[in-house]
Amino acid sequence: MIVRSIADLGEGWSRADAAPMPMPSEVLLAHPQFFEVRDTKNPFMAGHIGTVDRRKAITQWEALRDTFELCGMKTHVLDPLPECEDMVFTANPSFNGRGPDGRRICVPSRMAFASRQPEVEAHRRWFANSGYAIAELPETVSAFEGGGDAIWHPGRAIIWAASGPRSVQAAHEALSAIFDVPVFSLQLVDPRFYHLDTCFCPVNQRTAIIFSKAFSDASLPLIYHIFQDVIDVDEAEAEHFACNATALFGNTVVIQDGANRTIAQLAKRGIGARTVDTREFMKSGGSVFCMKAELR
């Protein structure tokens, strides 16, 4: 089922009608040994070619890894490849979850930039070797950037997916068929927020952090209908990657430091925040969420 509007849900539907989906308890990372900004793939990269402080980036990555582990997440680390400067952003080259029979499934991405395609092959191998069934996208899907543009609803077998600069609408039909789940289909309209994970962070079953101006007018009512509590961050904190956070176990959010107003809104709801510094990676247009793939 593809859901583009509240009307598509049918009378009386609620998220409780969706099957449970395990919350992630492990993450897949990639060491930033070869991380750098070589070109301009998104607006945040402009002016940052060749400016990455690699030593500082590694220190920031190690602190993020340690934070995940302190929060109770098991971490796995992909070996970096010298030709893959963006490999640290493990959310993008695949999307994974569980099918209705409980089996683990990995969907390899179709990256918009050829330089990132070798990352997809590395993910395909890692997931296959880790017991995941590999489900390839049909040829009708010309572009899809994995967990950057497809995010599970916390605790429920519902996928939030976006079409926009990096992923096409046809990917939503494919994901719905592969996982046999409803896909809530959103549209991104601001090139700064080129992936769903840059402007949308589901915290728990009822709370989400968003930057509303990143979405089409048709998409917003669906978000507000499913999440009773929406934290709409301001533009300054959205550009500071407040929405590119990661919620763990529904009660803790790992977030870029300096997102003070968003952190205060979380605190009002009894949701804790663990701050990290990802500024070297922000030069490439990514932060906490981009830098890990959640495993279920």
Q: Report pLDDT digits (tens) over 74-133.
A: 999 999 999 999 999 999 999 999 999 999 999 999 999 999 999 999 999 999 999 999
| pLDDT greater than 90 at residue 14 | no
Facing residues of 144 across strands? Answer: 110
What is the percent of the chain where pLDDT is above 70?
A: 100
Q: What is the pLDDT of residue 113?
A: 96
- Quick one: pLDDT band at residue 280, thresholds 50, 70, 90? very high
The domains of the chain are located at 2-295
pLDDT at 86: 98
Asked if residue 149 lies in contact with residue 162, where contact means CB atoms within 8 angstroms, the answer is yes
Three-state SS string over 149-177 comes to CEEECCCECCEEEEECCCCCCHHHHHHHH
Is the pLDDT score of 30 beyond 90?
yes
Average pLDDT score over residue span 165-185: 98
Architecture in CATH of 2-295: 5-stranded Propeller (3.75)
Confidence of residue 264 (pLDDT cuts 50, 70, 90): very high
SS3 294: strand
- Cα gap 162→142, rounded to integer Å: 14
Q: How confident is the model over 241-245, as a mean pLDDT? A: 98
Distance CA 188, CA 93 (A): 19
The pLDDT value recorded for residue 195 is: 98
Apex 270 CA angle, 233 and 245, nearest 5: 40
pLDDT of residue 11: 82
Number of H helices, E strands in the chain: 7, 16
| Residue 40 one-letter amino acid | T
**Residue that the structure tokens 């003070």 belong to:** 260
Residue 168 has pLDDT above 90, yes or no: yes
Task: Tell me the pLDDT band of 159, cut-offs 50, 70 and 90.
Answer: very high
Q: For the chain, what is the mean pLDDT?
A: 97
Q: What is the pLDDT of residue 13?
A: 84
Q: Can you give the pLDDT at residue 162? A: 98
**pLDDT value of position 16:** 81
The pLDDT value given to residue 10 = 83
